[in-house]
Structure 1
Amino acid sequence: MTPPQAADARPGPTTTTKRPGPAGGMRRVLLWLVLSVAVLAVASALSLAVGANALPLSTVWEALTNYNADNPDHLVIVEKRLPRTLVGLAAGAAFAVAGAVMQGLTRNPIAEPGLLGVNSGASLAVVIGITVFNVTDAGGYVWFAFAGAAAASVLVYAIGSRGREGSTPVKLALAGAAVTAVLTSLVSAVLLTNRTALDSMRFWQVGSLAARDLDILWRTLPSIAAGLLLALAISRALNGLALGEDVARGLGQRVGLTRALAAVCIVLLCGGATAAVGPIGFIGLIVPHAVRHYVGPDHRALLPLCAVTAPSLLLVCDVIGRVVSRPGELQVGVIAALVGAPLFIALIRPRKAVSL
């Protein structure tokens, strides 16, 4: 005879851990996108209004909508501040997306545009342009910097691809470190023996948005735009690559093609951005980590959100540089390092670490 307790027994509730579903993930992405766009609008307005001569936002709006060439305030906004703001928008997006692609490609959480020798290659090419071809203006640096960045990236990828295993994350990182060391020593050797090159190079090398005009933007925008589009096109493939090469191949993915396209994307983005504003650090390292922490590792959401978020950080650093040393200014590369280091330390604390 069955005891009453057993007859009436019902299975108790099963304790489960709720995970955010696709709808919850989409809400987080949309929330981040809205906040990023709002912050970007504020940062852009500050970039146009703040400087050695602070101007009210009403004057900024009037200069953009009803430009008067006889008004000196309008001239400052449209001829000086607007170009550097637009260059900052393009360069910030390029650095962050390039960093996210590099981290996904190499599966290395500290990968950033300097890993593949991009910065050192661009610096060496600019030094050659100054010493050999007597290039003295920022507009003339663009093509040398872009060519040097592209050549260094191709060299690193060629070295890292040698051998039966092909290009692996470790080999690419080691090849990048070796090429960077060699190119940096060559740059230092030239600068120490050529005073003209040192004087012309120092402001570009530290990273700056000052004295950037629309000509520089138009020269670098095609490569940056092509790199951003290519990054979005391979975002799904980067998700597969993040699971490991064997898993990606098992899913039918062409790993070699993905790596080659990612390398081209990095060359286009880093080459264009570095040519425009110099080798600014931390933007391509911090922003992908911050975005990944809040929206997850899916590159289909990560890459476009990095492109919207990073320009805000770069423009805010530029505004800080203009304010702290009036009537002069500190270069944005210096402020980015000062702001970026503590932010990165906060992001990589063990309780907040985010895996790729």
Structure 2
Amino acid sequence: MLAGLAALVLCTALSLALGTRPIPLGTVLDALSGRITGGDADVVTGLRVPRTVIGLAVGAALGVAGAVAQGVTRNALAAPTTLGINAGASLAVVVAIFTLKLSQPVEYVWFALAGAAGAAVLAYSMARRSGDLDPVRLALGGTVLTAVLTAWTSAVMLASRRTLDEARFWLAGSIGGRSLDVLYPVLPLLLLGLVLALLVSPALNALALGDETAQSLGVPVARIRVLGGLAVILLAGAAVAVAGPIAFIGLAAPHLLRPFLGNDHRWLVPGCMIGGPVLLLAADVLGRLVVRPSEIEVGIVTAFLGAPLLAVLARKVAR
């Protein structure tokens, strides 16, 4: 955990200092303290501070959502992306842009949450088998649901040039070019999701033993699944509403932390609050540097790096 905090401080500093216009850390500190104004100070306080704060919040939300989703479903491949939650939020936002003529990310919030909730409920209902949750059916159902919802999203965007123009930047997944005004409306929901995740984390250890064993240990399985699912919906929906559908952070963070923190969710969930932002900020900084003076959106970077990880995890789970 201490090493993770050190990595988080480093990534935060790099996010404030690096980009199309590199700024020395000393200048960054002077800008944050108000000792200098104009020029580099405006870049730091006006652009990079909001970008970094949003990265911290979104990364924590996605990392914790992935850990809770994997614990609730007993599926190592569960994440907001693989369960169709991101795709559901994306479809809801695109439909809202098409029908209601929305134009600002701050207006997308409730539609993204509604879409995330609908997709999560649908994926869960598809995975029910004889009253129990089948992890294999959940993974397959989530994959199919993601493909279907993504196809519908593309169809709506192709039907309207305005919708395409409004949604394509958001759908790429980015924490740049956004003010903190986008984060404020979802911040209470994000905090509520984190609190719920911490509350259910001890019970997730019992769920790993199976529903019958967990019930025999006195764990209210149905209630824990509802609370855990609600935490995932709030966290993933809030993250998608702010930054768009960013893939693989929720899948990667828990798996990368388990060799260091073990499988105890009482450590893993708080650890993902640190590991998620580290991964997201590192990917964002990488996207700023590889094609300077242009940038690659962080959602594209995480998808490019996460696809091999998903293949490795799928092979591991199959073995």
Shift of 1:178: 4.3
Please name the residue that 2:260 is paired with. 294
SS of 2:107's equivalent in the other structure is helix
TM-score by length of 2: 0.92
Q: Residues 290 and 347 of structure 1 are in contact (CA less than 8 Å); yes or no, is this contact kept in structure 2?
A: no
Q: Residues 105 and 169 of structure 1 are in contact (CA less than 8 Å); yes or no, is this contact kept in structure 2?
A: no
Q: In the alignment, which of 184, 187, 193 is matched to residue 150 of structure 2?
A: 184
In the alignment, structure 1 residue 144 sits paired with structure 2 residue 144: no
Structure 2: gaps (5+ residues):
none
Q: What are the Cα deviations for residues 33-65 of structure 1, in whole angstroms up to 9, with x where unaligned?
A: 111111110100110111111111011111111
In the alignment, structure 1 residue 213 sits paired with structure 2 residue 179: yes
Please name the residue that 1:22 is paired with. none
Please name the residue that 1:62 is paired with. 30
SS of 2:183's equivalent in the other structure is helix
1:45, 1:146 → 2: CA distance? 31
Q: Residues 60 and 277 of structure 2 are in contact (CA less than 8 Å); yes or no, is this contact kept in structure 1?
A: yes
Note closer, same or farther for the CA distance 1:218–1:334 as it changes in structure 2 (3 Å cut). same
SS of 2:182's equivalent in the other structure is helix
1:39, 1:196 → 2: CA distance? 41
SS of 1:53's equivalent in the other structure is coil
In the alignment, structure 1 residue 41 sits paired with structure 2 residue 21: no
Q: CA RMSD in A?
A: 2.3
1:136, 1:325 → 2: CA distance? 28
Shift of 1:241: 0.2
2:140, 2:187 → 1: CA distance? 31
In the alignment, structure 1 residue 255 sits paired with structure 2 residue 255: no
Question: 1:92-107 counterparts in 2 under 5 A?
Answer: 92-107=59-74
Shift of 1:78: 1.0
1:222, 1:138 → 2: CA distance? 17
Question: Once structures 1 and 2 are overlaid, which stretch shifts more, 309-318 or 166-175?
Answer: 166-175
1:157, 1:343 → 2: CA distance? 24
SS of 1:116's equivalent in the other structure is coil
| Larger-Rg structure | 1
Q: Residues 208 and 331 of structure 1 are in contact (CA less than 8 Å); yes or no, is this contact kept in structure 2?
A: yes
Question: 1:2-13 counterparts in 2 under 5 A?
Answer: none
Structure 1 letter corresponding to 2:3: L
Note closer, same or farther for the CA distance 1:341–1:176 as it changes in structure 2 (3 Å cut). closer
Note closer, same or farther for the CA distance 1:85–1:54 as it changes in structure 2 (3 Å cut). same
Please name the residue that 1:311 is paired with. 277
Q: What are the Cα deviations for residues 143-166 of structure 1, in whole angstroms up to 9, with x where unaligned?
A: 3222221232234335545x7515
Q: Residues 88 and 315 of structure 1 are in contact (CA less than 8 Å); yes or no, is this contact kept in structure 2?
A: yes
Q: Residues 50 and 179 of structure 2 are in contact (CA less than 8 Å); yes or no, is this contact kept in structure 1?
A: yes
Shift of 1:338: 2.5
In the alignment, structure 1 residue 325 sits paired with structure 2 residue 291: yes
1:51, 1:93 → 2: CA distance? 22
Please name the residue that 1:273 is paired with. 239
In the alignment, structure 1 residue 224 sits paired with structure 2 residue 219: no
In the alignment, structure 1 residue 195 sits paired with structure 2 residue 161: yes
2:138, 2:248 → 1: CA distance? 20
